Structure 1
């Protein structure tokens, strides 16, 4: 059978299996095993355990559970609420300042936790009721938090970037740095839209500000500064040549647990056990997907599907930007149905040779891919962040949340266009800190 035809069959079967409700990792293993048996016989199954565990035999993978523990420790405290309150007190005089403070809190909390759902839950529990109380429309209150939560997979330290680095054998340090400027740019675009929409509405209730004294503004800072200091310390240790990403992640996880116990009195063994239990569950889920995706990639390569797709796309007589537009469309559609980690592990090994052949930088492409995944987090039918917000504020209809998040989707599209026009937005910082790639 022609490899391209076989590839189409594999794609259709994979989508059907994943839509059946089976877990992503189990689905990939079932599809991989089934096609290997059909085309190479049962003897091919003997390689699956070796490939599965071989994919997990990577020292860099240790950073994933450590960064997840960091996020879980922060999410188990009032750090999100304190961060929100601190920014709200300092930005209260800005028109639309409450939305801006929520977006700023989302950016900072996502940098600390690296989790989009955790960011939505932590900031949304405080921010959405307060915005609604102040007269902000439900769509603005819910949509801004849903969009702000997506920043967790772009702003470092990002588990998604670690997964991309492992899947494509790309420097994780460079990937982290590449996400900084685009992440700040997205935050700026989100805030500009919020300021404009608030100014345009001219609603007196929305523009009304609560007055805080300087004492009230400063008294909240000691609760949030230690966590921000940890993030800065982790990044400094990583890029200052002091430690590897895995080592800095371990130290960061320990410090976050200590601060959670000291500042927020997280002394209860039950609470600490919950942090470790939830972190272990999420880590195992991600590592299971990584191993299964390795087997899936092996199946595609063994049946010459990956090579044939790369050759076919390489033979297309189209402008490289048309090719990039096609890749972005594919990523958008895939992000609508699958979690970011699954899309990266399944698509990156196939797309990377194509991207490099077309003359695009793999570090730059990681940022573009991640923003596409952010759009998927607030787009139906999966749209994880939409459902998290709906769980926080069940009286706000899912349609209202979606409508409120659409302007932020437009901001992400603008960010992708700007990255295409100015690749240096993603590449300048890595090249400055770590030197140009050879």
Structure 2
């Protein structure tokens, strides 16, 4: 065993032990970084930590992060999310699967203004699960559609995890947002298609009386409840896609728009404003601390030469891009069983990117690929974040929630296969818009 292999092994075991002991992810990253620098004989740890922390936390692109989180927190605490459910329900009551599709579409729409998987699942689940249960829908299917669709918060822009990846990989966040649009729509269509087929094959588990009192007048009246949140989505994403604003500027406009809509609907109080601000600060600080730790660990690994050695090792193995992606998928899913999505990205990007670049894989496409894999991990037991959110909402055993989510796990896996076989699903929109 060479010295480099031994050091890498010691650091990997140390990381696992730190995490198993319940240490914060950020502190575990910093601790392993300190160990790595000591192994190189470098005694300037304080100076290096200070400079790396400054570099990790002062990127202009990161300013979009707290803004998008705050926008989601505002919507989470106002009546806009409730209006979303009421606005969609009349339009779906005569469709096979009926209100089960509200879970999918509500999650897709809310994801476009929250950027968070956990917030999407929690907000939509609080409204839809009691209503679906009261009307006699299959509880297992209601839980499954929510678990699967809740992961859309990671992919459909503005996505917090895409901002983190963009900063770590030095890829344009605006182009990543554009690249995530078509894959996000593709996943929604896969979920809707599966739910429709399931409903046609299990008619006894879908109530047949939901659309009796629904006419076109009721449907068009319900559109009024959809207009505010659709307008906010169009306002934020349209300004980015149209090239009028940067993601950071769009995030600030989104917060302002969310406040205006909440005030107009009468659901913005002093308490809800303070709660949303504190929630955004807590989440942004947690993510920022993880990024600082990851940046410091990356610096330490650079001194050790681990990324370069890994890239050379991968090159010597002569793996095809497909084989590399297969191994990385397994790695990310396994890590996702123990870490949240953002931690998985910041922990692995520094090590993985040299391999990806060596294999000639487009970093823009890889950003969407890694988010889809992290989506898989969100509904993989034992520590899928969406599973815990839904378990808290339903009181069900986590294995019950995992079994309910399994068909949607397979659909996300199908989505991974599709973007690998047809990379244009990811690259078409960014390429087209950059040529204008």
The two structures share one fold, judged by TM-score above 0.5:
yes
Other-structure match for 1:14: 15
Structure-to-structure mapping, 1:58-137, within 5 angstroms: 58-137=59-138
Q: Distance in 1 between matches of 2:242 and 2:145?
A: 35
Structure-to-structure mapping, 1:389-404, within 5 angstroms: 389-394=390-395, 396-404=396-404
Q: Is 2:48 aligned against 1:50?
A: no
Q: Distance in 1 between matches of 2:122 and 2:171?
A: 31
Q: Distance in 2 between matches of 1:20 and 1:264?
A: 46
Q: Distance in 1 between matches of 2:303 and 2:435?
A: 37
Deviation at 1:147, TM superposition (A): 1.1
Other-structure match for 2:415: 415
Q: Distance in 2 between matches of 1:374 and 1:180?
A: 15
Q: Distance in 2 between matches of 1:241 and 1:368?
A: 24
Other-structure match for 1:302: 303
Deviations 1:129-152 (A, max 9, x none): 222223322221111111111000
Tell me whether 94-103 or 59-68 shows the greater mean CA deviation: 94-103
Other-structure match for 1:291: 292
Structure 1 segments of 4+ aligned residues over 3 angstroms from their partners: 204-208
CA contact (8 A) 1:95 1:207 kept: no
Deviations 1:279-322 (A, max 9, x none): 11111111111111100111111111111111101110332211
Other-structure match for 2:385: 384
CA contact (8 A) 2:155 2:371 kept: yes
Q: CA RMSD in A?
A: 1.6
Deviation at 1:2, TM superposition (A): 2.4
Q: Distance in 1 between matches of 2:331 and 2:195?
A: 29
CA contact (8 A) 1:419 1:425 kept: yes
Q: Secondary structure at the match of 1:236?
A: helix
Other-structure match for 1:188: 189
Q: Secondary structure at the match of 1:157?
A: coil
Q: Distance in 1 between matches of 2:147 and 2:221?
A: 29
Structure-to-structure mapping, 1:225-244, within 5 angstroms: 225-244=227-246
* Alpha-carbon distance change, 6 to 86 in structure 1, aligned in 2, over 3 angstroms: same
Q: Distance in 2 between matches of 1:206 and 1:131?
A: 10
Other-structure match for 1:433: 433
Residue segments in structure 2 that go unaligned for 5+ positions in a row: none
Deviation at 1:419, TM superposition (A): 0.7
Q: Distance in 2 between matches of 1:255 and 1:96?
A: 33
Structure-to-structure mapping, 1:195-210, within 5 angstroms: 195-203=196-204, 205-210=206-211
Deviations 1:105-146 (A, max 9, x none): 110011111111111111111211222223322221111111
Q: Distance in 2 between matches of 1:195 and 1:225?
A: 26
CA contact (8 A) 1:106 1:119 kept: yes
Residue segments in structure 1 that go unaligned for 5+ positions in a row: none
Q: Secondary structure at the match of 1:206?
A: coil
How many pairs were matched up?
434
Deviation at 1:428, TM superposition (A): 0.4
CA contact (8 A) 1:96 1:206 kept: no
Tell me whether 186-195 or 213-222 shows the greater mean CA deviation: 213-222
Deviations 1:365-415 (A, max 9, x none): 111110111111111121111111111111x32222111100000001100
CA contact (8 A) 2:107 2:120 kept: yes
Q: Is 2:259 aligned against 1:246?
A: no
CA contact (8 A) 1:378 1:405 kept: yes
Tell me whether 365-374 or 42-51 shows the greater mean CA deviation: 42-51
Structure-to-structure mapping, 1:308-387, within 5 angstroms: 308-387=309-388
Deviation at 1:41, TM superposition (A): 4.3
Other-structure match for 2:263: 261
TM-score (norm 1): 0.95
CA contact (8 A) 1:186 1:412 kept: yes
Deviations 1:152-189 (A, max 9, x none): 01000111111110000001111001111110000111
TM-score (norm 2): 0.96
Q: Secondary structure at the match of 1:97?
A: coil
